[in-house]
Chains A and B, each alone.
Chain A
Amino acid sequence: MSDTTHIQLAHGGGGQLTAELIEQVILPALGGPQKTGELTDSAVLDAPSKRLALTTDSYVVHPLEFPGGDIGKLAICGTVNDLAMAGALPTALTMALIIEEGLEIALLKRILESAGRTAAQAGAPIVTGDTKVVPRGMLDALMINTAGLGDVLAGADLGFQRVLPGDSIVLSGPLGEHGLAVMARRKGLSFSSDLLSDCTPLSQPAAALVEALGGELHFMRDPTRGGLAATLADLAGGSSHNVEIDEASIPINPTAIAAAEILGLDLLTVANEGKLVAVVSAKACDTALRVLREYQVAREAAEIGRIVGQTDTGQLPLVEMITKIGGRRIVQMPYGEELPRIC
Protein backbone atom coordinates (compact mmCIF):
# COMPACT_ATOMS: atom_id res chain seq x y z
CA MET A 1 0.00 0.00 0.00
CA SER A 2 1.32 3.40 -1.01
CA ASP A 3 0.21 5.56 1.91
CA THR A 4 0.18 3.90 5.28
CA THR A 5 -0.66 6.96 7.31
CA HIS A 6 -4.06 7.95 5.95
CA ILE A 7 -7.31 6.17 5.29
CA GLN A 8 -7.89 5.39 1.61
CA LEU A 9 -11.12 4.43 -0.08
CA ALA A 10 -9.75 0.89 -0.43
CA HIS A 11 -9.67 0.57 3.36
CA GLY A 12 -13.43 0.18 3.13
CA GLY A 13 -13.36 -2.07 0.08
CA GLY A 14 -13.56 -5.37 1.88
CA GLY A 15 -10.22 -6.58 0.59
CA GLN A 16 -6.73 -6.88 2.00
CA LEU A 17 -6.52 -3.26 3.12
CA THR A 18 -9.75 -3.64 5.07
CA ALA A 19 -8.44 -6.75 6.76
CA GLU A 20 -5.20 -4.95 7.60
CA LEU A 21 -7.05 -2.01 9.10
CA ILE A 22 -9.23 -4.28 11.20
CA GLU A 23 -6.33 -6.47 12.35
CA GLN A 24 -3.79 -3.73 12.95
CA VAL A 25 -5.91 -0.88 14.21
CA ILE A 26 -9.46 -1.77 15.13
CA LEU A 27 -9.19 -5.15 16.88
CA PRO A 28 -6.17 -4.26 19.03
CA ALA A 29 -7.89 -1.07 20.15
CA LEU A 30 -11.29 -2.50 20.86
CA GLY A 31 -10.37 -6.02 21.95
CA GLY A 32 -11.54 -9.24 20.28
CA PRO A 33 -9.92 -11.96 18.20
CA GLN A 34 -6.47 -11.43 16.66
CA LYS A 35 -7.36 -12.28 13.07
CA THR A 36 -10.21 -11.25 10.82
CA GLY A 37 -10.53 -14.90 9.92
CA GLU A 38 -11.80 -15.58 13.42
CA LEU A 39 -14.59 -13.05 13.04
CA THR A 40 -18.03 -14.38 12.31
CA ASP A 41 -20.93 -12.63 10.60
CA SER A 42 -22.77 -12.17 13.85
CA ALA A 43 -21.91 -12.13 17.50
CA VAL A 44 -23.83 -14.82 19.32
CA LEU A 45 -24.76 -13.95 22.88
CA ASP A 46 -26.41 -15.69 25.79
CA ALA A 47 -29.50 -13.82 26.91
CA PRO A 48 -28.67 -12.53 30.36
CA SER A 49 -32.25 -12.12 31.54
CA LYS A 50 -35.77 -11.73 30.31
CA ARG A 51 -35.79 -7.94 30.23
CA LEU A 52 -33.43 -6.44 27.73
CA ALA A 53 -32.74 -2.82 26.89
CA LEU A 54 -31.67 -1.88 23.37
CA THR A 55 -30.52 1.52 22.14
CA THR A 56 -28.58 3.09 19.28
CA ASP A 57 -27.03 6.46 18.60
CA SER A 58 -24.82 8.04 15.94
CA TYR A 59 -22.04 10.39 16.91
CA VAL A 60 -20.66 13.35 15.01
CA VAL A 61 -18.58 15.90 16.84
CA HIS A 62 -16.19 18.58 15.73
CA PRO A 63 -13.36 18.57 16.72
CA LEU A 64 -12.91 14.78 16.98
CA GLU A 65 -10.70 15.24 20.03
CA PHE A 66 -11.66 17.78 22.67
CA PRO A 67 -10.55 18.51 26.25
CA GLY A 68 -11.66 15.57 28.38
CA GLY A 69 -12.62 13.22 25.59
CA ASP A 70 -12.99 12.35 21.93
CA ILE A 71 -15.60 10.92 19.60
CA GLY A 72 -14.62 7.34 20.54
CA LYS A 73 -15.15 7.84 24.24
CA LEU A 74 -18.32 9.77 23.51
CA ALA A 75 -19.73 6.99 21.32
CA ILE A 76 -19.32 4.49 24.15
CA CYS A 77 -20.51 6.76 26.98
CA GLY A 78 -23.57 7.97 25.10
CA THR A 79 -24.89 4.49 24.42
CA VAL A 80 -23.86 2.97 27.73
CA ASN A 81 -25.55 5.88 29.51
CA ASP A 82 -28.75 5.46 27.54
CA LEU A 83 -28.83 1.86 28.78
CA ALA A 84 -27.99 2.98 32.30
CA MET A 85 -30.91 5.43 32.31
CA ALA A 86 -33.22 2.50 31.59
CA GLY A 87 -31.83 0.75 34.68
CA ALA A 88 -29.74 -1.61 32.57
CA LEU A 89 -26.11 -2.75 32.70
CA PRO A 90 -24.48 -3.06 29.27
CA THR A 91 -24.16 -6.62 27.96
CA ALA A 92 -22.74 -5.90 24.51
CA LEU A 93 -22.09 -3.02 22.17
CA THR A 94 -21.79 -2.71 18.41
CA MET A 95 -19.69 -0.09 16.69
CA ALA A 96 -19.91 1.04 13.08
CA LEU A 97 -17.36 3.46 11.67
CA ILE A 98 -17.97 5.65 8.66
CA ILE A 99 -14.65 7.24 7.77
CA GLU A 100 -13.83 10.03 5.35
CA GLU A 101 -11.07 9.20 2.90
CA GLY A 102 -7.85 10.86 4.06
CA LEU A 103 -8.36 10.54 7.82
CA GLU A 104 -5.07 10.14 9.61
CA ILE A 105 -4.74 6.52 10.77
CA ALA A 106 -2.86 7.54 13.92
CA LEU A 107 -5.82 9.72 14.89
CA LEU A 108 -8.26 6.89 14.20
CA LYS A 109 -6.12 4.63 16.36
CA ARG A 110 -6.13 7.09 19.25
CA ILE A 111 -9.90 7.44 19.01
CA LEU A 112 -10.50 3.69 18.91
CA GLU A 113 -8.11 3.05 21.79
CA SER A 114 -10.02 5.62 23.79
CA ALA A 115 -13.29 3.87 22.87
CA GLY A 116 -11.78 0.52 23.88
CA ARG A 117 -10.61 1.84 27.24
CA THR A 118 -13.99 3.43 27.95
CA ALA A 119 -15.86 0.26 26.98
CA ALA A 120 -13.65 -1.79 29.28
CA GLN A 121 -14.22 0.70 32.08
CA ALA A 122 -17.98 0.44 31.56
CA GLY A 123 -17.82 -3.36 31.40
CA ALA A 124 -19.34 -3.25 27.93
CA PRO A 125 -17.65 -5.53 25.37
CA ILE A 126 -17.79 -4.41 21.74
CA VAL A 127 -18.90 -7.61 20.03
CA THR A 128 -19.46 -6.62 16.44
CA GLY A 129 -18.83 -3.75 14.10
CA ASP A 130 -18.51 -2.42 10.61
CA THR A 131 -16.18 -0.13 8.68
CA LYS A 132 -17.03 1.99 5.65
CA VAL A 133 -14.96 4.61 3.88
CA VAL A 134 -16.59 7.43 1.91
CA PRO A 135 -14.91 9.76 -0.61
CA ARG A 136 -13.31 12.95 0.68
CA GLY A 137 -15.81 15.73 1.27
CA MET A 138 -18.80 13.48 1.86
CA LEU A 139 -18.36 13.45 5.62
CA ASP A 140 -16.59 15.47 8.27
CA ALA A 141 -13.73 13.04 9.03
CA LEU A 142 -15.51 10.36 11.05
CA MET A 143 -18.93 9.26 12.15
CA ILE A 144 -19.50 6.51 14.67
CA ASN A 145 -22.66 4.57 15.35
CA THR A 146 -22.94 2.41 18.41
CA ALA A 147 -25.80 0.24 19.58
CA GLY A 148 -26.04 -1.25 23.02
CA LEU A 149 -27.79 -4.24 24.46
CA GLY A 150 -28.39 -4.12 28.20
CA ASP A 151 -29.58 -6.32 30.99
CA VAL A 152 -32.35 -4.53 32.90
CA LEU A 153 -31.66 -4.88 36.60
CA ALA A 154 -34.21 -6.60 38.76
CA GLY A 155 -36.19 -3.98 40.62
CA ALA A 156 -35.83 -1.31 37.96
CA ASP A 157 -39.24 0.13 37.25
CA LEU A 158 -38.76 3.46 35.55
CA GLY A 159 -40.86 5.69 33.38
CA PHE A 160 -42.78 8.96 33.13
CA GLN A 161 -45.89 7.23 34.44
CA ARG A 162 -44.12 6.46 37.71
CA VAL A 163 -43.34 10.13 38.46
CA LEU A 164 -45.48 11.42 41.33
CA PRO A 165 -46.17 14.79 42.94
CA GLY A 166 -43.83 15.30 45.88
CA ASP A 167 -40.99 13.34 44.26
CA SER A 168 -37.51 14.81 44.55
CA ILE A 169 -35.30 15.61 41.57
CA VAL A 170 -31.62 14.77 41.95
CA LEU A 171 -28.80 15.94 39.67
CA SER A 172 -25.44 14.16 39.84
CA GLY A 173 -23.11 17.15 39.28
CA PRO A 174 -22.42 20.55 37.68
CA LEU A 175 -23.84 21.42 34.28
CA GLY A 176 -22.51 22.28 30.87
CA GLU A 177 -18.96 20.93 30.97
CA HIS A 178 -19.19 18.83 27.80
CA GLY A 179 -20.93 21.35 25.57
CA LEU A 180 -18.76 24.22 26.71
CA ALA A 181 -15.48 22.29 26.47
CA VAL A 182 -16.28 21.35 22.86
CA MET A 183 -17.53 24.81 21.95
CA ALA A 184 -14.57 26.56 23.58
CA ARG A 185 -12.14 24.35 21.65
CA ARG A 186 -14.09 24.86 18.44
CA LYS A 187 -14.03 28.65 18.79
CA GLY A 188 -10.41 28.69 19.95
CA LEU A 189 -11.28 30.41 23.22
CA SER A 190 -8.42 30.82 25.62
CA PHE A 191 -10.01 29.16 28.63
CA SER A 192 -10.54 25.95 26.67
CA SER A 193 -7.71 24.16 28.47
CA ASP A 194 -9.32 24.75 31.88
CA LEU A 195 -12.60 23.15 30.97
CA LEU A 196 -12.89 19.39 30.49
CA SER A 197 -15.83 17.48 29.04
CA ASP A 198 -17.64 15.46 31.70
CA CYS A 199 -17.97 12.55 29.22
CA THR A 200 -18.04 9.39 31.35
CA PRO A 201 -19.95 6.10 31.71
CA LEU A 202 -22.69 6.24 34.32
CA SER A 203 -23.51 2.52 34.52
CA GLN A 204 -22.16 2.09 38.02
CA PRO A 205 -23.82 4.99 39.83
CA ALA A 206 -27.07 4.33 37.96
CA ALA A 207 -27.04 0.63 38.85
CA ALA A 208 -26.23 1.50 42.46
CA LEU A 209 -29.28 3.77 42.53
CA VAL A 210 -31.51 1.01 41.19
CA GLU A 211 -30.17 -1.45 43.74
CA ALA A 212 -30.42 0.89 46.71
CA LEU A 213 -33.76 2.49 45.88
CA GLY A 214 -35.69 -0.21 44.02
CA GLY A 215 -39.25 1.00 43.51
CA GLU A 216 -38.50 4.37 45.08
CA LEU A 217 -36.49 5.29 41.97
CA HIS A 218 -39.06 6.53 39.45
CA PHE A 219 -37.23 7.98 36.48
CA MET A 220 -33.72 8.60 35.15
CA ARG A 221 -32.37 10.55 32.20
CA ASP A 222 -28.97 11.88 31.18
CA PRO A 223 -29.26 15.55 30.22
CA THR A 224 -27.29 15.45 26.95
CA ARG A 225 -28.30 17.63 23.99
CA GLY A 226 -30.61 20.42 25.11
CA GLY A 227 -29.19 20.13 28.61
CA LEU A 228 -31.11 20.06 31.86
CA ALA A 229 -33.75 22.37 30.36
CA ALA A 230 -34.72 19.80 27.71
CA THR A 231 -34.66 16.91 30.20
CA LEU A 232 -36.94 18.74 32.63
CA ALA A 233 -39.26 19.92 29.85
CA ASP A 234 -39.55 16.28 28.72
CA LEU A 235 -40.12 15.21 32.31
CA ALA A 236 -42.93 17.75 32.74
CA GLY A 237 -44.47 16.92 29.37
CA GLY A 238 -44.13 13.15 29.72
CA SER A 239 -45.43 12.95 33.27
CA SER A 240 -48.03 15.76 32.98
CA HIS A 241 -46.74 17.20 36.24
CA ASN A 242 -45.25 20.57 36.96
CA VAL A 243 -41.59 20.68 37.85
CA GLU A 244 -39.96 23.17 40.18
CA ILE A 245 -36.21 23.61 40.62
CA ASP A 246 -34.07 25.81 42.85
CA GLU A 247 -31.28 27.64 41.08
CA ALA A 248 -29.27 27.95 44.28
CA SER A 249 -29.11 24.18 44.74
CA ILE A 250 -27.75 23.33 41.29
CA PRO A 251 -24.10 22.21 41.57
CA ILE A 252 -21.71 24.70 40.02
CA ASN A 253 -18.49 24.56 38.02
CA PRO A 254 -17.21 28.17 38.09
CA THR A 255 -15.22 27.75 34.85
CA ALA A 256 -18.32 26.50 33.04
CA ILE A 257 -20.31 29.45 34.37
CA ALA A 258 -17.67 31.89 33.13
CA ALA A 259 -17.52 30.17 29.72
CA ALA A 260 -21.29 30.23 29.35
CA GLU A 261 -21.27 33.89 30.28
CA ILE A 262 -18.68 34.71 27.62
CA LEU A 263 -20.52 32.74 24.95
CA GLY A 264 -23.90 34.13 25.99
CA LEU A 265 -25.36 30.70 26.69
CA ASP A 266 -27.75 29.49 29.36
CA LEU A 267 -26.00 26.68 31.27
CA LEU A 268 -29.33 24.88 31.64
CA THR A 269 -29.43 24.33 27.88
CA VAL A 270 -25.84 23.15 27.38
CA ALA A 271 -25.07 19.46 26.73
CA ASN A 272 -23.66 17.10 29.37
CA GLU A 273 -22.25 13.62 28.74
CA GLY A 274 -21.63 12.37 32.25
CA LYS A 275 -24.52 13.55 34.38
CA LEU A 276 -27.79 11.99 35.36
CA VAL A 277 -31.10 13.33 36.57
CA ALA A 278 -33.06 10.99 38.84
CA VAL A 279 -36.60 11.38 40.10
CA VAL A 280 -36.98 9.60 43.43
CA SER A 281 -39.61 9.49 46.14
CA ALA A 282 -38.99 12.24 48.70
CA LYS A 283 -38.28 9.76 51.47
CA ALA A 284 -35.57 8.06 49.40
CA CYS A 285 -33.83 11.28 48.44
CA ASP A 286 -31.18 11.20 51.17
CA THR A 287 -30.31 7.62 50.29
CA ALA A 288 -30.05 8.53 46.61
CA LEU A 289 -27.66 11.37 47.39
CA ARG A 290 -25.55 9.19 49.67
CA VAL A 291 -25.31 6.42 47.07
CA LEU A 292 -24.42 8.78 44.23
CA ARG A 293 -21.82 10.73 46.20
CA GLU A 294 -19.80 7.55 46.70
CA TYR A 295 -18.87 7.75 43.02
CA GLN A 296 -16.26 10.27 41.92
CA VAL A 297 -18.35 11.22 38.89
CA ALA A 298 -21.35 12.05 41.08
CA ARG A 299 -19.67 13.35 44.21
CA GLU A 300 -21.43 16.71 43.85
CA ALA A 301 -24.91 15.17 43.54
CA ALA A 302 -27.63 17.42 44.91
CA GLU A 303 -31.39 17.62 45.22
CA ILE A 304 -32.29 20.39 42.81
CA GLY A 305 -36.07 20.42 42.86
CA ARG A 306 -39.32 18.55 43.04
CA ILE A 307 -42.43 17.43 41.18
CA VAL A 308 -45.28 19.73 42.13
CA GLY A 309 -48.54 18.25 41.17
CA GLN A 310 -50.65 17.39 38.19
CA THR A 311 -51.42 20.21 35.80
CA ASP A 312 -55.02 21.19 35.23
CA THR A 313 -56.66 19.67 32.22
CA GLY A 314 -55.76 21.63 29.14
CA GLN A 315 -52.88 23.40 30.87
CA LEU A 316 -49.43 22.59 29.57
CA PRO A 317 -47.15 21.29 32.30
CA LEU A 318 -44.55 23.83 33.27
CA VAL A 319 -40.97 23.84 34.53
CA GLU A 320 -40.33 26.73 36.88
CA MET A 321 -37.11 27.81 38.51
CA ILE A 322 -36.83 29.68 41.78
CA THR A 323 -33.90 31.97 41.06
CA LYS A 324 -31.04 32.70 43.41
CA ILE A 325 -32.65 35.96 44.46
CA GLY A 326 -36.00 34.26 45.11
CA GLY A 327 -37.69 35.25 41.85
CA ARG A 328 -39.42 32.73 39.60
CA ARG A 329 -39.01 32.07 35.94
CA ILE A 330 -39.97 29.52 33.34
CA VAL A 331 -37.49 26.96 32.00
CA GLN A 332 -38.32 26.09 28.41
CA MET A 333 -37.32 23.42 25.97
CA PRO A 334 -34.47 25.10 24.07
CA TYR A 335 -35.52 25.85 20.51
CA GLY A 336 -32.29 25.18 18.65
CA GLU A 337 -28.70 26.18 18.56
CA GLU A 338 -28.16 29.51 20.26
CA LEU A 339 -26.11 32.06 18.39
CA PRO A 340 -23.26 33.97 19.97
CA ARG A 341 -24.43 37.33 21.15
CA ILE A 342 -22.96 40.71 20.37
CA CYS A 343 -21.85 42.01 23.74
Chain B
Amino acid sequence: MTDALAETSLITGSQFCFRGNLLFLEPSGILYWPAERLLVVSDLHLEKGSSFAARQNLFMPPYDTQATLETLAPKIEMLQPETVISLGDSFHDRDASARLPDEYRQQLSRLMQGREWVWINGNHDPEPPRELGGIFCQSLQVGNLNFIHEPHKQFTQGEIAGHLHPCAKIRRRGKTVRKRCFVSDGERLIMPAFGAFTGGLNIRNEAYSELFEDEKLTVWMIGKDAVFEIDGKQCVR
Protein backbone atom coordinates (compact mmCIF):
# COMPACT_ATOMS: atom_id res chain seq x y z
CA MET B 1 0.00 0.00 0.00
CA THR B 2 2.88 2.38 0.72
CA ASP B 3 4.19 1.65 -2.78
CA ALA B 4 0.84 2.49 -4.18
CA LEU B 5 0.77 5.83 -2.39
CA ALA B 6 4.27 6.68 -3.55
CA GLU B 7 3.13 6.22 -7.11
CA THR B 8 0.31 8.64 -6.71
CA SER B 9 2.82 11.45 -6.66
CA LEU B 10 3.85 10.39 -10.16
CA ILE B 11 0.41 10.39 -11.61
CA THR B 12 -1.44 13.41 -12.92
CA GLY B 13 -5.14 13.65 -13.49
CA SER B 14 -8.25 13.44 -11.36
CA GLN B 15 -8.94 11.20 -8.40
CA PHE B 16 -12.28 9.50 -8.39
CA CYS B 17 -13.64 7.40 -5.57
CA PHE B 18 -15.68 4.77 -7.39
CA ARG B 19 -17.64 2.39 -5.15
CA GLY B 20 -15.08 2.81 -2.40
CA ASN B 21 -12.03 2.44 -4.66
CA LEU B 22 -9.63 5.29 -5.31
CA LEU B 23 -9.04 5.55 -9.07
CA PHE B 24 -6.93 7.96 -11.08
CA LEU B 25 -8.31 9.25 -14.36
CA GLU B 26 -5.28 10.29 -16.33
CA PRO B 27 -5.01 12.93 -19.14
CA SER B 28 -3.77 10.37 -21.67
CA GLY B 29 -7.05 8.49 -21.20
CA ILE B 30 -5.85 5.60 -19.04
CA LEU B 31 -7.28 4.67 -15.66
CA TYR B 32 -5.04 3.61 -12.79
CA TRP B 33 -6.11 1.80 -9.65
CA PRO B 34 -3.20 2.06 -7.20
CA ALA B 35 -4.54 -0.41 -4.61
CA GLU B 36 -4.56 -3.18 -7.21
CA ARG B 37 -1.60 -1.81 -9.22
CA LEU B 38 -3.95 -2.10 -12.16
CA LEU B 39 -3.86 0.00 -15.33
CA VAL B 40 -6.84 0.07 -17.71
CA VAL B 41 -6.86 1.29 -21.28
CA SER B 42 -9.80 1.06 -23.66
CA ASP B 43 -10.43 0.97 -27.41
CA LEU B 44 -6.85 1.00 -28.71
CA HIS B 45 -8.08 0.16 -32.24
CA LEU B 46 -4.57 -0.81 -33.32
CA GLU B 47 -4.02 -0.82 -37.11
CA LYS B 48 -7.14 1.18 -37.79
CA GLY B 49 -5.19 3.21 -40.33
CA SER B 50 -4.17 0.22 -42.42
CA SER B 51 -7.70 -1.21 -42.38
CA PHE B 52 -8.71 1.49 -44.85
CA ALA B 53 -5.95 0.48 -47.21
CA ALA B 54 -6.90 -3.19 -46.94
CA ARG B 55 -10.59 -2.63 -47.55
CA GLN B 56 -10.83 0.50 -49.72
CA ASN B 57 -7.34 1.39 -51.02
CA LEU B 58 -7.47 4.56 -48.92
CA PHE B 59 -4.03 5.31 -47.58
CA MET B 60 -4.34 6.74 -44.08
CA PRO B 61 -0.97 7.53 -42.48
CA PRO B 62 0.30 4.11 -41.31
CA TYR B 63 1.50 5.54 -38.01
CA ASP B 64 -1.54 5.26 -35.77
CA THR B 65 -0.38 2.09 -34.03
CA GLN B 66 2.99 3.69 -33.39
CA ALA B 67 1.35 6.87 -32.08
CA THR B 68 -0.95 4.86 -29.81
CA LEU B 69 1.84 2.71 -28.38
CA GLU B 70 4.09 5.74 -27.96
CA THR B 71 1.48 7.33 -25.72
CA LEU B 72 0.79 4.15 -23.77
CA ALA B 73 4.38 2.95 -23.23
CA PRO B 74 5.61 5.77 -20.94
CA LYS B 75 2.55 5.35 -18.71
CA ILE B 76 3.26 1.66 -18.25
CA GLU B 77 6.96 2.28 -17.73
CA MET B 78 6.30 4.96 -15.16
CA LEU B 79 3.58 3.20 -13.18
CA GLN B 80 4.88 -0.37 -13.57
CA PRO B 81 1.42 -1.87 -13.08
CA GLU B 82 1.13 -5.55 -12.11
CA THR B 83 -1.88 -5.90 -14.34
CA VAL B 84 -2.92 -4.19 -17.54
CA ILE B 85 -6.47 -4.54 -18.82
CA SER B 86 -7.07 -3.67 -22.46
CA LEU B 87 -10.81 -3.15 -22.38
CA GLY B 88 -11.76 -4.46 -25.82
CA ASP B 89 -11.52 -3.24 -29.41
CA SER B 90 -7.78 -3.47 -28.90
CA PHE B 91 -7.46 -4.32 -32.58
CA HIS B 92 -9.51 -2.56 -35.20
CA ASP B 93 -10.49 -5.71 -37.09
CA ARG B 94 -9.90 -9.47 -37.22
CA ASP B 95 -6.91 -9.13 -39.55
CA ALA B 96 -5.33 -6.20 -37.73
CA SER B 97 -2.84 -8.31 -35.86
CA ALA B 98 -1.70 -9.93 -39.10
CA ARG B 99 -1.01 -6.49 -40.54
CA LEU B 100 0.87 -5.34 -37.43
CA PRO B 101 4.44 -4.50 -38.51
CA ASP B 102 7.06 -6.56 -36.63
CA GLU B 103 8.52 -3.53 -34.94
CA TYR B 104 5.23 -2.71 -33.19
CA ARG B 105 4.57 -6.35 -32.38
CA GLN B 106 7.88 -6.40 -30.54
CA GLN B 107 7.15 -3.14 -28.80
CA LEU B 108 3.86 -4.56 -27.61
CA SER B 109 5.57 -7.72 -26.34
CA ARG B 110 8.03 -5.62 -24.36
CA LEU B 111 5.17 -3.75 -22.72
CA MET B 112 3.47 -7.04 -21.81
CA GLN B 113 6.58 -8.55 -20.31
CA GLY B 114 6.69 -9.11 -16.55
CA ARG B 115 3.03 -8.35 -15.91
CA GLU B 116 -0.36 -9.85 -16.28
CA TRP B 117 -2.02 -8.61 -19.45
CA VAL B 118 -5.74 -9.08 -19.92
CA TRP B 119 -7.37 -8.75 -23.34
CA ILE B 120 -11.09 -8.21 -22.90
CA ASN B 121 -12.98 -9.18 -26.07
CA GLY B 122 -14.58 -6.37 -28.02
CA ASN B 123 -16.96 -6.22 -30.93
CA HIS B 124 -14.12 -5.33 -33.31
CA ASP B 125 -11.92 -8.12 -31.98
CA PRO B 126 -14.20 -10.89 -30.68
CA GLU B 127 -11.26 -13.29 -30.97
CA PRO B 128 -8.12 -11.33 -30.15
CA PRO B 129 -4.81 -12.70 -31.46
CA ARG B 130 -3.71 -15.58 -29.24
CA GLU B 131 -0.13 -15.47 -30.50
CA LEU B 132 0.49 -12.27 -28.58
CA GLY B 133 0.00 -14.01 -25.25
CA GLY B 134 -1.87 -12.70 -22.24
CA ILE B 135 -5.26 -13.67 -20.89
CA PHE B 136 -8.35 -13.52 -23.04
CA CYS B 137 -11.78 -13.11 -21.56
CA GLN B 138 -15.22 -11.61 -22.02
CA SER B 139 -15.16 -9.73 -18.73
CA LEU B 140 -13.14 -9.60 -15.51
CA GLN B 141 -14.18 -9.04 -11.91
CA VAL B 142 -11.64 -7.38 -9.59
CA GLY B 143 -12.91 -6.64 -6.09
CA ASN B 144 -16.30 -4.97 -6.49
CA LEU B 145 -15.51 -3.70 -10.00
CA ASN B 146 -16.38 -5.48 -13.22
CA PHE B 147 -14.43 -4.82 -16.43
CA ILE B 148 -16.21 -5.38 -19.72
CA HIS B 149 -16.08 -3.89 -23.23
CA GLU B 150 -19.71 -3.15 -24.00
CA PRO B 151 -21.76 -1.71 -21.12
CA HIS B 152 -24.77 -3.84 -20.14
CA LYS B 153 -28.15 -2.28 -20.75
CA GLN B 154 -29.37 -3.82 -17.49
CA PHE B 155 -28.11 -1.90 -14.54
CA THR B 156 -24.80 -3.24 -13.29
CA GLN B 157 -23.14 -1.73 -10.24
CA GLY B 158 -19.42 -1.12 -10.42
CA GLU B 159 -19.08 -1.69 -14.15
CA ILE B 160 -16.15 -0.19 -16.04
CA ALA B 161 -16.68 -0.32 -19.79
CA GLY B 162 -15.50 1.23 -23.07
CA HIS B 163 -17.02 0.79 -26.52
CA LEU B 164 -18.86 4.11 -26.81
CA HIS B 165 -15.84 6.46 -27.16
CA PRO B 166 -17.43 9.10 -24.94
CA CYS B 167 -16.76 12.75 -25.53
CA ALA B 168 -18.42 15.78 -24.00
CA LYS B 169 -19.15 19.26 -25.22
CA ILE B 170 -19.53 22.36 -23.11
CA ARG B 171 -20.53 25.86 -24.12
CA ARG B 172 -19.20 28.90 -22.35
CA ARG B 173 -18.92 32.50 -23.50
CA GLY B 174 -20.46 31.58 -26.82
CA LYS B 175 -17.72 29.06 -27.61
CA THR B 176 -17.90 25.31 -27.52
CA VAL B 177 -15.20 22.91 -26.43
CA ARG B 178 -15.47 19.21 -27.25
CA LYS B 179 -13.10 16.69 -25.69
CA ARG B 180 -12.79 12.99 -25.02
CA CYS B 181 -13.91 12.15 -21.51
CA PHE B 182 -14.49 9.63 -18.77
CA VAL B 183 -18.13 9.58 -17.77
CA SER B 184 -19.83 8.17 -14.67
CA ASP B 185 -22.97 8.42 -12.58
CA GLY B 186 -21.29 6.78 -9.59
CA GLU B 187 -22.66 3.33 -10.49
CA ARG B 188 -20.97 2.81 -13.84
CA LEU B 189 -17.87 4.31 -15.48
CA ILE B 190 -17.21 4.49 -19.21
CA MET B 191 -13.66 5.05 -20.43
CA PRO B 192 -12.59 7.26 -23.34
CA ALA B 193 -11.14 5.62 -26.47
CA PHE B 194 -7.35 5.65 -26.40
CA GLY B 195 -6.38 4.88 -30.03
CA ALA B 196 -4.81 7.65 -32.13
CA PHE B 197 -7.46 7.34 -34.85
CA THR B 198 -10.52 6.89 -32.66
CA GLY B 199 -13.30 9.46 -32.78
CA GLY B 200 -15.85 10.29 -30.11
CA LEU B 201 -19.57 10.00 -29.44
CA ASN B 202 -21.23 12.80 -27.50
CA ILE B 203 -22.49 11.66 -24.10
CA ARG B 204 -25.78 13.39 -24.94
CA ASN B 205 -26.35 10.82 -27.70
CA GLU B 206 -29.28 8.46 -27.21
CA ALA B 207 -26.84 5.54 -26.93
CA TYR B 208 -26.06 6.65 -23.37
CA SER B 209 -29.58 7.37 -22.21
CA GLU B 210 -30.30 3.87 -20.88
CA LEU B 211 -26.93 3.55 -19.20
CA PHE B 212 -26.76 6.47 -16.80
CA GLU B 213 -28.86 8.25 -14.29
CA ASP B 214 -28.74 11.69 -15.82
CA GLU B 215 -29.02 13.62 -12.55
CA LYS B 216 -25.81 12.18 -11.16
CA LEU B 217 -23.69 12.42 -14.29
CA THR B 218 -20.11 13.65 -14.04
CA VAL B 219 -17.61 13.90 -16.89
CA TRP B 220 -13.85 14.18 -16.75
CA MET B 221 -12.90 16.05 -19.91
CA ILE B 222 -9.40 15.49 -21.19
CA GLY B 223 -7.37 18.64 -21.79
CA LYS B 224 -3.78 19.05 -22.87
CA ASP B 225 -2.12 18.02 -19.61
CA ALA B 226 -5.01 17.88 -17.22
CA VAL B 227 -8.38 16.24 -16.67
CA PHE B 228 -11.27 18.56 -15.86
CA GLU B 229 -14.07 17.26 -13.67
CA ILE B 230 -17.29 18.85 -14.85
CA ASP B 231 -20.92 18.41 -13.82
CA GLY B 232 -22.85 16.56 -16.53
CA LYS B 233 -25.50 19.29 -16.46
CA GLN B 234 -23.04 21.60 -18.20
CA CYS B 235 -22.69 19.21 -21.14
CA VAL B 236 -24.59 19.95 -24.31
CA ARG B 237 -25.50 18.02 -27.39
Partners in one complex: no
* A interface list, Cβ under 8 A from B: none
B residues neighboring A (CB under 8 Å): none
